[in-house]
Amino acid sequence: MSATKSQSAKKAAPDAARRSERSRRAIYDAALSLVGEIGYPRTTIEGIAARAGVGKQTIYRWWGSKAEVLMEAFIDLNERNTEVAAERHPGYPGDPAVLPDSGDIEADFKLLLHATVDVLKDPVFEAPARALAAEGLADRAFSEAFVARLLMPGLDLYADRLRAAQEAGQVRTEVDPTIARDLFSGPLAQRWLQNTGPLDHAYADTIVEYALYGIGARPPRS
């Protein structure tokens, strides 16, 4: 949902729906900030409710667990981050289910990774996302649930974009898009998760160029 659509929906809605929307937003914000501050294990529905200024029965009416609240809070944050990217970068689609596709795979992946770097370094995203990643390292089942819901949909879009580039003759047909995507996402993930080096737009550009064109000396062709 775009910011514009959300605004007009609100205008038409009755007071109860408007109050619900306000509560939902307060709960998402509380869940994200709390988990970023104290980590996943110590975050509770009671704590989220207290910070959001709602009763905990309000949370239980909509969600079954703190994991559910957090997953939806991240999906909502991803929608808002996509809107920000669309405002900042002309040509960036405002829909989280759509990646840039100008027909130029290099330009599109650079744009995509610029937006990704911006999100990874945004404190609103970074603190809670690190807390979830840490919990994922301690608990494999938790990791798989969160990865399936929050991370893989984005990585699947990377693969789709690479398939389109194969059809356009920009990526070799024998390349496996579900492996090739890791050349783009993996280096950023490692720098973000393990602090192995600076993470900025220039780095993202270099990674895209190396992944597309290779670092090896190309043999002369006859």
Positions in the binding site for a copy of itself (CB under 8 A): 39, 105-106, 130-131, 133-138, 140, 143-144, 147, 151-152, 155, 162, 169-172, 175-176, 178-180, 182-183, 185-191, 193-197, 203, 206-207, 210-218, 220-221
Q: How far is the CB of 155 from a copy of itself (least distance, A)?
A: 6
- 93 close to 49: Cβ distance less than 8 angstroms: no
Using alpha carbons only, give the angle 83, 194, 120 rounded to the nearest 5 degrees. Answer: 10
In angstroms, how far is CA 219 from the centroid of its own chain? 38
Please report how close the Cβ of residue 7 comes to a copy of itself at its closest, in angstroms. 35
Alpha-carbon gap, residue 33 to 152, rounded angstroms: 23
Query: In the complex with a copy of itself, which residue's Cβ is closer, 2 or 178?
Result: 178
Residue type, 12: A
Structure tokens, 15: 């007071």
**Smallest separation (angstroms) from a copy of itself to the CB of 13:** 38
CB of 217 to a copy of itself, least distance (A): 5
∠ CA(117), CA(35), CA(32), 5° rounding? Answer: 60
User: Do residues 24 and 120 lie in contact, with contact meaning Cβ atoms separated by under 8 Å?
Assistant: no
Tell which residue, 88, 77, 147, has the closest CA to residue 112: 88
**How far is 43 from 46, CA to CA, in rounded Å?**
8
Nearer to a copy of itself, 3 or 202 (CB): 202
Closer Cβ to a copy of itself, 26 or 164, answer by number: 164
Residue closer to a copy of itself, measured from CB, 90 or 214: 214
Judged by beta carbon, residue 84 or residue 119, the one nearer a copy of itself is 119
Nearest distance in Å: CB 128, a copy of itself: 11
